[in-house]
Amino acid sequence: MSAGYMFEPEVERLDRAGLRRLQLQRLQASLALAYAKVPHYRTGFDAAGLKPEDLQSLEDLARFPFTVKSDLRDNYPFGLFAVPREQVVRLHASSGTTGKPTVVGYTEGDINIWADLMARSLAATGVRPGDVVHNAYGYGLFTGGLGFHYGAERLKCSVVPMSGGNTEKQISLLTDFGARALAATPSYALNIAEVAEQSGVDLAGSPLAVGVFGAEPWSETMRAELDRRLGIRACDMYGLSEIMGPGVAIECEQRAGLHGWEDHFLFEIIDPETLQPLPMGETGELVITTLTKHALPMVRYRTRDITRLTDEVCACGRTHVRILRVTGRNDDMMIIRGVNVYPSQIEAVLVGFPGVAPHYLLTLTRQGSLDHLTVEAEVNDSRNEDDRAHLARQVRHHIKSLIGVSCEVIIRLPGELPRSQGKAIRVRDLRQPAE
């Protein structure tokens, strides 16, 4: 495969020594801005006995304090901004149903860089100027919709600002407008594929060629399913509001890890227990520092996402570090009768059974003083009740022997579990009332 088109080839191919030099220069400026303008950072640096000038190499960053989600809540709404609110041209916020939302802000310059990084990311997946890009990420406070929107416009695509929901309409517009790229959460893309099949629409035979999917964990099995059912090449997009939104990292056409844009972000992996940085290649928690954000500089933000990095130059020619697929967060870990279980482990067992669809729901309840896990999954055919009960026993046995937790398994018929319109809800924890 050729390296293909790049939106900003000079920086995408910059040699690693050049990238590190650029990072150091930008990091020094960013720490200075945070210290001068944000009381939270000033207090934190002072408590650690550090001044921005103490950062003389990229390695020195490990001496600086972390930032965590609750710092945003504690400084609600604008306390972490490094510019007067009047210079903030856009606000986004989390949609969390409990507690205060986390609010993020952007200057005009931040928005401009975001659009460039999104254009760069879309180009890396194979989207080209002139393509019709159907954007089914939610518009609104969520960063997905507008993030993709401005990036696709910057790349000079024709953007269809569809947002989530109204799936039948999505399918008519996808075919009528001849979309070449679909941007959506992977779970919603699967919902679109299913509804299209049910209505006899052959999306695989349409001009649709690229899927840009992210905002939630998904697996290689799900990718294979989306590739086949939509007739596309599905690429993984990673990002988070606190750092920018989508466009922090993207899989190129090689699909061998997600390029994290190191001219604007610095990526570290830490051991979530000891909080010490881990060497390149080891698995741990991803920590990101912004290098060019003005409204909301983030210093060592603990993402909670578990992954690892590789700095080998990719076959596409891009030199930026690659983040391996994020399969879960360290705060989605469920503790069930003392056993640590990640939803992705249950998913891995489920997809190992032929005929089990990638729709599942995990429900945690308390029975007496014991935790109880119910795993509901769907088959993709209409097999009878006895066969489903037999399959449920096999799944339960595998979960017990591979993960070490006993659970109840219910195998549902196609379409019985709720479908996603954005980020899929995979876990319901009914053990204690919401905070």
Residues that bind ligand DLL (CB under 6 A): 137, 142-144, 214-217, 236-241, 245-246, 303, 305, 326, 329
Q: Smallest distance from the beta carbon of 238 to ligand DLL, in angstroms?
A: 4
Question: Rounded to an integer, what distance in angstroms lies between the CA atom of residue 155 and that of residue 126?
Answer: 12
Q: What distances in angstroms separate CA 131 from CA 140, 141, 185, 251, 337, one per listed residue?
A: 24, 26, 20, 19, 51
In the complex with ligand DLL, the residue whose CB is nearer, 53 or 220, is 220
In the complex with ligand DLL, the residue whose CB is nearer, 30 or 185, is 185
Stated as kind and residue range, the H or E segment containing 323 is: strand 322-323
Of all residues in the shown chain, the one whose CB is closest to ligand DLL is 214
Q: Smallest distance from the beta carbon of 405 to ligand DLL, in angstroms?
A: 23
Q: Smallest distance from the beta carbon of 428 to ligand DLL, in angstroms?
A: 18
Q: Smallest distance from the beta carbon of 142 to ligand DLL, in angstroms?
A: 6
The amino acid that residue 310 corresponds to is T
For residue 185 the two structure tokens come to: 């959460």
Q: Which residue has the tokens 């489920």?
A: 350
In the complex with ligand DLL, the residue whose CB is nearer, 35 or 142, is 142
Residues 6+ apart with CB under 8 A from 117: 151, 244, 247, 248, 261, 264
In the complex with ligand DLL, the residue whose CB is nearer, 55 or 104, is 104
In the complex with ligand DLL, the residue whose CB is nearer, 162 or 215, is 215
Stated as kind and residue range, the H or E segment containing 268 is: strand 265-270
In the complex with ligand DLL, the residue whose CB is nearer, 35 or 218, is 218
Q: Smallest distance from the beta carbon of 321 to ligand DLL, in angstroms?
A: 16
3-class DSSP assignment, residue 367: strand
Question: Rounded to an integer, what distance in angstroms lies between the CA atom of residue 426 and that of residue 358?
Answer: 11
Q: Smallest distance from the beta carbon of 121 to ligand DLL, in angstroms?
A: 9
For residue 295 the two structure tokens come to: 């409204």
